[in-house]
Amino acid sequence: MEFARISLVATVCILVCCAAGARLGYNRSWVTDACSTREGGEGTCINVRNCTALLKFISANSLPYDQYKSIISKFICNLENQQVCCPFKVPDVIASNTVVDHSQHSNYKLLPTNCGSSITIQKIINGNETSLFEFPWAVALQHKGDARWGCGGTLLSNRYILTAAHCIRPSNMLQLNKVRLGEHNFKTNPDCEDSGFGTTCADPPQDFDVSIDDAIVHPEYDSRTYKNDIALIRLRKSAQISDSVSPICLPITVDEQTFDFKNFTVIGWGGTENSFHSSILLKVRVPKVNNSVCAPRYAGLGALTSKQMCAGGKDEQDSCAGDSGGPLMADYTKDRRFRTLQYGIVSSGPSICGFEQFPTLYTRVDKYVGW
């Protein structure tokens, strides 16, 4: 442990020296040790070896060397003496504002390359009901004591599901019990669709028993503010990939993370405008809403962070409570390859579905890809 700490301190010292060519980002009072970073955070100008906040930041994040150098340069207050404006808390906001190319991350190879595609026979353009096979990554979650499938999720690989942390630790204390893959209509088995060239049917849905022991909840999840509302579920055995069960893609590259989408798609079996749950998987197109516009609606949850985003709240189209944990998606095309990427997880929203000027709050997936 001591060796690891020495190596970490050495790394930070090297980063400080290498940032010498960068524009120094400090605003320091030479009368006292008080200082402020380029981002406006308060701190104390001390030797980098004694800055616990930056040491924790380096050890907690797997970022490329150049990204570290860029971030550390924002804290330098006295380069000659290797001093940094040590913030009073670990610089979470700085990290979340940094766009990282995750294609070099050690875990990237664990994600499937054949993701985000479907073989929809007849895509419904002007309607809320989805087509068979249209969203094969849709997952339904069930809790003990509740016959409904009250939360959603997405399949990331044949062993992992992405969902919201509040679906793993709900306020009603119900325990996670089961997940279902490959479902389209809860009232029919098998699910079939007439394509005009005959009837096509999907394989039966795949059910998996799960518990909270199979879940990985973000360690900094806050149930009061919905900060870091993200979790993974590890299946005890592999799912069988098929036309009705396949993984969604995550935004990995910088281009994928920074593409300026104006609209997204949300799916789920959640409450409709009449507050009923749907037996058929539904979809709805929702507009992106700037955090500055939507923040007043969520003032009770504290300030929104760059790890959260808003969408919807217009034309009576939105996600509902039953869609918690479900995906906010967009279609991305590059080099003639068309894929669906997940950008958000349904986190919190109004109790009345599609309430005008009340967007839904989402956890930004791209900020946690390195997690």
Q: Is 82 left (phi over 0), alpha (psi -120 to 50) or beta?
A: left
Among the listed residues 297, 299, 155, 136, the one whose alpha carbon sits nearest the alpha carbon of residue 203: 136
Structural domains in the chain, CATH included, are: 2-96 (no CATH), 102-368 (2.40.10.10)
Structure-derived torsion over alpha carbons of residues 154, 107, 235, 224, reported in degrees to the nearest 10: -60
What pLDDT does residue 146 have?
A: 77
Q: Are strands 327-334 and 263-268 parallel, antiparallel or unpaired?
A: antiparallel
Q: Residue for token digits 């935004």?
A: 251
Token pair for residue 321? 């409570």
**Cβ–Cβ < 8 Å for 338, 331:** yes
Residue 261, Cβ density class (10 Å: 0-12 exposed, 13-18 middle, ≥19 buried): middle
Integer Cα distance of 6 and 2 in angstroms:
6
What pLDDT does residue 21 have?
A: 46
223 carries an active-site annotation: no
* Radius of gyration over every alpha carbon of the chain, rounded to an integer in angstroms: 23
324 carries an active-site annotation: yes
**Cβ–Cβ < 8 Å for 179, 233:** yes
Number of residues assigned to the chain:
371
What pLDDT does residue 76 have?
A: 86
What pLDDT does residue 82 have?
A: 82
CA 191 to the chain's CA centroid: 30
166 carries an active-site annotation: yes
Write phi, then psi, for 189 (nearest 5 degrees): -155, 110
Asked whether the bond before 190 is cis by omega within 30 degrees of 0, the reply is yes
Q: What separation in angstroms does the CA of 55 have from each of 10, 49, 83? A: 10, 8, 13
Among the listed residues 92, 229, 323, 366, the single catalytic one is 229
What pLDDT does residue 28 have?
A: 37
**Cβ–Cβ < 8 Å for 168, 159:** no
User: What does each of the 371 residues of the chain score in pLDDT, given as a tens digit?
Assistant: 333 444 445 555 655 555 544 443 334 333 347 887 766 678 899 988 888 888 877 766 656 666 677 777 788 888 778 888 888 876 654 444 567 777 766 666 678 888 988 876 454 444 588 999 999 999 999 988 877 788 999 999 999 999 999 999 876 677 899 999 999 999 999 999 987 789 999 999 999 999 999 999 999 999 999 999 999 999 999 999 999 999 999 999 888 888 889 999 999 887 544 445 789 998 988 999 998 888 888 888 888 888 999 998 766 566 664 478 999 999 998 878 889 999 999 998 765 565 667 889 999 999 998 77
What pLDDT does residue 353 have?
A: 61
Integer Cα distance of 202 and 174 in angstroms:
31
DSSP string, 46-89: EEGGG-HHHHHHHHH----HHHHHHHHGGGEEETTTTEEEEESS
Among the listed residues 303, 282, 283, the one whose alpha carbon sits nearest the alpha carbon of residue 294: 303
Among the listed residues 143, 166, 184, 277, the single catalytic one is 166
CA 34 to the chain's CA centroid: 36
| pTM, rounded to two decimals | 0.74
Among the listed residues 324, 347, 348, 366, the single catalytic one is 324
What pLDDT does residue 115 have?
A: 93
What pLDDT does residue 238 have?
A: 97
DSSP state for residue 279 in the 8-state scheme: S
Q: What separation in angstroms does the CA of 370 have from each of 95, 197, 235? A: 11, 45, 21
